[in-house]
Amino acid sequence: MNSTALAWVRGYEFAIIDLEHSGFGYDNLKRMLRYYQAAGVPAIVSTAVGDYDVVARAYDMDADAIQPAKVSSAEEAREMLSHMRYPPQGHRSVAPGIAHDRYRPGDTAAKLRRANRETIFFPKIETCQGIENVEVIAAVKGVSGIWTGHFDLSVDIGIPAEFDHPEFAAAMKRVARACSKQDIALGRIAEKVETGVALNRMGFDFLCYSGDIWLLRNALKASLDTLRAECRKAKRK
């Protein structure tokens, strides 16, 4: 569990597969990508690093987008993009006829051009340095949107989980302005519906609602609380 976060805006439009915190390996990832592919749900793979062997391999397994953690500079963003793209825009190794192109034959040059056009990159900003550089990161050609890692960012600021703190609020507004200026998406996880509504008003247009383990926990707790209450009520009769 603890693998995905589900989209809030207009239904289940995408899922995030978390390789950073879940402990999943590549075998798990490849199977999950097939499930989402069969369901017609785009899958964003969240990685702990943006190294070549991580992001290029995830794309070869047919990830729809990559979301590396702790991107803190435009230089890092450009390097990660080069890992994801084929020459001449990058240096991703070419292996046609595997999962990323659904094992189909076809014109290799056309496949490479299409893959480069459709590369989706959501750098995760979750450090003070990333906030300081968010304007130039957002302006990097090929950045599809900015994702904010709110827990890590609050810890790096020195205010763990104090999301109402003025300094944290100022950071969110700065990210929102940077994305609005470049006309790119701005994303974050919303643990509650009320949080999602507030974020959307702030400019977040790419929201994930909760995650599988948390949804299961909350649903189970609500059902058990109701069951216990009804059982106690029955005993008193």
Task: Say yes or no to pLDDT of 85 above 90.
Answer: yes
pLDDT above 90 as % of the chain: 76
Average of per-residue pLDDT across 204-229: 88
Angstrom distance (rounded) from CA 82 to CA 86 = 8
Determine the pLDDT at residue 11: 53
In the predicted structure, residue 83 carries a pLDDT above the cut 50: yes
Q: Which residues sit opposite 5 in a β-bridge? A: 16
Span 46-54, average pLDDT: 95
pLDDT digits (tens, 9 = 90+) for 189-204: 988 888 889 999 999 9
Nearest-5° angle of CA 110, CA 103, CA 16?
90
User: What would the pLDDT profile of 105-152 be if each residue is shown by its tens digit?
Assistant: 999 999 999 999 999 999 999 999 999 999 999 999 999 999 999 999
- Spell out the domains of the chain, with CATH numbers in brackets: 4-211 (3.20.20.60)
| 89 pLDDT higher than 90 | yes
Residue 168: what pLDDT? Answer: 96
Average pLDDT over the chain, rounded to whole? 91
pLDDT value for 188: 93
Phi first, then psi: give them for residue 16, nearest 5 degrees: -110, 125
Kindly tell me if the per-residue pLDDT of 58 is higher than 80. yes
pLDDT of 70 over the 70 cut: yes
Stretch among 5-9, 162-166, 167-171 having the lowest mean pLDDT: 5-9
CB 185 within 8 A of CB 7: no
Residue 223 banded pLDDT, cuts 50, 70, 90: very high
pLDDT score for 25: 92
Both structure tokens of 109 = 């040059």
Mean pLDDT in residue range 22-37:
92
Query: In angstroms, what CA-CA distances link 195 with 106, 118, 165, 192?
Result: 46, 31, 15, 5
Percent of the chain with pLDDT over 70: 95
pTM of the shown model: 0.85
